[in-house]
Structure 1
Amino acid sequence: MKRRSPFPLALALCVLIAAPAAANDRLVIHEWGTFTSLQNDNGDLIAGVNTDDEPVPGFVHDIGNTVTRSVSQMSPAFQANMTKGGIPRLHPDVTMRLETPVVYFHLPKGVDHMTLDLDVTFRGGWLSQYYPDAESNTSGEDVTTKHITADTAGALSWKGLDVGGAKKGPETTEHVWLAPRAVQASPVTTAKGESEKYLFYRGVGKLDKTLLPVTLVREPEGGHTLWTAGTVRHFKSWLVDVREDGKIAFQHGHDPQRGVAFYRPFTEKDYAASNLPLLQNYMQGALTVAGLFQDEAKAMVKTWEHSYFRSPGQRLFYIVPKEWVELVLPMKVSVPADITRVMVGRIEIVHPRQQSAMREMRSSSADGVAAFIRKSTTDVKDWTVYQEVSSGKKPLDALGAQVPGIYKSYLKLGRFRDAILLEENARRSAPALKTFIRENRIGMYEVK
């Protein structure tokens, strides 16, 4: 299959310098994905972040059997005995998420089919979900009875993968699955007959902050300092703040010349809804310069549109240095290929707005929590509205007046709210927090 020109003309010169095009007689493999972590003001990692996943279709494989419970058994914030991707939710070792790496294949000119093996290993983590079917070295028993350590190495192997043809993937309506399909790539089919436009996998890991390529620290005056590790220097980064009203502010990070970069505090004039397409275009351009084809970069930005750009919160995005990707997530392919892997680092920051919501919870009354749990678990309509608000699909005021104030403050904590809540309770407990956590059975998973 002859490949079209991958980049806009305006980017042609810098792309030719940064990422030379592959020869037509070699297989081209492109991958994108996200490394996500949650950090407090001091840049310390917060554990238990295997929560609040973007939903994937039911045909996706898990390394463990997902525990399901009926609505009548779950409180609105129930977490403790549920799993995400086969991994017990709020696992105490999980400080990093490997979110939705997608691998595309582009066949050489004149080649219709190719058979190959592809292996990927997550050093310091487990690869928890995947599609099409693959061989995993991790079992459901492993993830419920073992800790994640520096020696943990979760691996997936696709053996005898057929690249080419016209087979389509399963039907689905999930946005995060459909968006990556909008790419001119060769479909893949496994020996068992599962097909898709790409290889998909996810993972969770335990990485000390000293092993991360960057650390972000909030300064007393409200700005941020970005520290880079080792020899890491030149990469693109963006500090982004999304408010509940949908307005967004962002700053470009300059290449850290001495291993450090600074971001000034945001001001009111920085926020505008019109900043969203600007930021998306900047990131899409940076992804193409890093080596992705234009439709691949567009698919990545589209896939994460809600989570990246519309979910309230403050976060840092950066292009992960290639050397770090190869160290933490090595890939092997059985045939000669030109491989480009473009990963985005995402640091979720505990923002002053979340700290304010936590103070509200600490000073709130927990009266009414038990009654609300009983009502919501017997009324499917109430439960559905709560879940839509919890996921950000509906505004907070959709809950109405019947919801206790402590629940509304809890939802203001945003993504990873349970990990934030448990860390706060461990540092500065309060009666209302204890009651809320107990009644909703929120707690870190205990490795048996």
Structure 2
Amino acid sequence: MFLKHTLFSLLLMVANGLGVELRAQAPETRPGFEVHEWGTFTSMQGSDGLALEGLQHEEERLPGFVYSRTEVRDCPLREFGYKGLEVPVERVTQKMETPVIYFYANEPLDVRVRVDFVGGLISQWYPVVDRLGPPELVADQGPLDLRTIERSFLEWDLGILPFDAETGRAPVMPPGVNHDDPWRFARETKAAGVRTKPRTEPRMGPNGEEENFLFYRGLGTFELPLHAATTDDRLMLRNTGDLDLPVAFALEMDKKRARFRPLGRVAGHSESSLGLEDQPWQFDEVVVEELSKALLARLVDQGLFLDEAQAMLKTWSRSWLRSLGTRVIYILPRPTVDALLPLQIEPRPETLVRVLVGRLEIVTRAMERRLEADLRAADYLVRTAVRGRF
């Protein structure tokens, strides 16, 4: 692989202060102020356990109000809700998807939030940020080699408006979305609302922008510690990191049938092997229900509130639990999350919960043979449309 950022080098960068601009003085801790975050990392590996590139394609269309790092230009796809990274990118091995940050407070307060992405580019966000780095990209400059991006960051100055128990909502008016838009799931919590500071450009009204959370996502060129290789009938897992993975599940989805296997805690520097045929097939809806319950419990165990965990599952149920293929779904260790996504909040929250889920898509030997056959088939374009792409 070409000069990939390893997790070890990421940790060193953070330890040496290369990826984060720390304040000279630690922020004051605010009693009763709580912050929760959830999100996902998606990667793909071949049957040999090596990372595959080309994960820059969007699976979930974002609302048109979401911001992109690319400088705004006329684009016919914008009217259909597209707001992706319009600069072509290369060497992508990780998709960081839908981290959302919720705030809880007893009274209104002003906060400053900064999130860095070490080894990756934050490509989209909402609401509008006050500062970002590196600068916005020009769409016509040609492909961007993501290996050249050491880090990126966003910074918000916000007002936090507590949830009102009497009205059953936060006192904000976020932009509307369609009833079937996954964006609305993340709003189904009792979190406080956020409001950006008033400004006049680009394209903001005088009252700033409002939402029930902070949203961001991006693309990376590094490898997480979990690796998976397959033979015709076995799945071999390796955790190459020092830290245990709190919980993992192996899942295989076929048409109208599925099977999954709880893997429990995956110890650091461990290897394991399991038979792909060991678990019996079940109706897909049965597996979706059972695995959803198991995932929900594990997300709550990690510190998310129940409504937050439910929002996360609703957002990603289609990709995690209903897409055809073989995958491992696991929770990242908190130190890994903090190393990849350093988060600074002023004033400092009394409680900070961060739960990032890894989704490792595995191209099995059998799938590789089918793909090779598809490449030779006359109806390749039809098959590609059915299988989808990353």
Asked whether the two chains share a fold, i.e. TM above 0.5, the reply is: yes
Partners of 2:133 and 2:152 within 8 A in 1: yes
Alpha-carbon distance, 1:414 to partner: 3.2
Greater share of helix residues, 1 or 2? 1
Rounded to whole Å, the distance in 2 between the matches of 1:31 and 1:349 is: 27
Alpha-carbon distance, 1:150 to partner: 6.8
Other-structure match for 2:235:
224
Alpha-carbon distance, 1:268 to partner: 7.5
Partners of 2:173 and 2:211 within 8 A in 1: yes
Does 1:166 find its partner at 2:171?
A: yes
Partners of 1:60 and 1:129 within 8 A in 2: yes
Does 1:326 find its partner at 2:338?
A: yes
**Structure of larger gyration radius:** 1
Partners of 2:331 and 2:356 within 8 A in 1: yes
Rounded to whole Å, the distance in 2 between the matches of 1:106 and 1:232 is: 30
Alpha-carbon distance, 1:216 to partner: 1.3
Helix, strand or coil: the match of 2:145?
coil
Partners of 2:259 and 2:282 within 8 A in 1: yes
Other-structure match for 1:269:
280
TM-score by length of 2: 0.79
- Write out per-residue CA displacement over residues 48-107 of structure 1, whole angstroms, 9 at most, x where no aligned residue: 11113201100000011477457xxxxxxxxxxxx9722435x22211000000100011
Other-structure match for 2:151:
153
Rounded to whole Å, the distance in 1 between the matches of 2:280 and 2:44 is: 27
Helix, strand or coil: the match of 1:36?
strand
Helix, strand or coil: the match of 2:246?
coil
Does 1:133 find its partner at 2:132?
A: no
- Write out per-residue CA displacement over residues 103-162 of structure 1, whole angstroms, 9 at most, x where no aligned residue: 00011xxx3201000000001111011011113213123985643237521101002443
Amino acid at match of 2:138: E
Other-structure match for 2:15:
none
Rounded to whole Å, the distance in 1 between the matches of 2:157 and 2:36 is: 18
Other-structure match for 2:13:
none
Partners of 1:37 and 1:97 within 8 A in 2: yes
Amino acid at match of 1:349: I
Helix, strand or coil: the match of 2:42?
strand
Other-structure match for 1:240:
251
Alpha-carbon distance, 1:301 to partner: 0.5
Between Structure 1 and Structure 2, how many residues are aligned?
Answer: 334
Alpha-carbon distance, 1:43 to partner: 1.4
Partners of 2:121 and 2:218 within 8 A in 1: yes
Rounded to whole Å, the distance in 2 between the matches of 1:354 and 1:221 is: 10
Please point out which of 83, 91, 94 is paired with 2:92.
Answer: 94
Partners of 2:260 and 2:279 within 8 A in 1: no
Rounded to whole Å, the distance in 1 between the matches of 2:46 and 2:156 is: 38
- Write out per-residue CA displacement over residues 193-239 of structure 1, whole angstroms, 9 at most, x where no aligned residue: 111111111110111x3xx1211111x24221211123122420011
Alpha-carbon distance, 1:270 to partner: 2.6
| Gap regions ≥5 residues in structure 2 | 1-28, 163-169, 199-207
Alpha-carbon distance, 1:45 to partner: 1.2
Helix, strand or coil: the match of 2:261?
strand
Mapping of 1:96-135 within 5 angstroms? 96-107=94-105, 111-134=106-129, 135=131
Amino acid at match of 1:25: P
- Write out per-residue CA displacement over residues 340-396 of structure 1, whole angstroms, 9 at most, x where no aligned residue: 10000011111355324323323323xxxxxxxxxxxxxxxxxxxxxxxxxxxxxxx
Rounded to whole Å, the distance in 2 between the matches of 1:283 and 1:171 is: 29
| Gap regions ≥5 residues in structure 1 | 1-22, 71-82, 366-404, 417-448
Please point out which of 351, 356, 380 is paired with 1:406.
Answer: 380
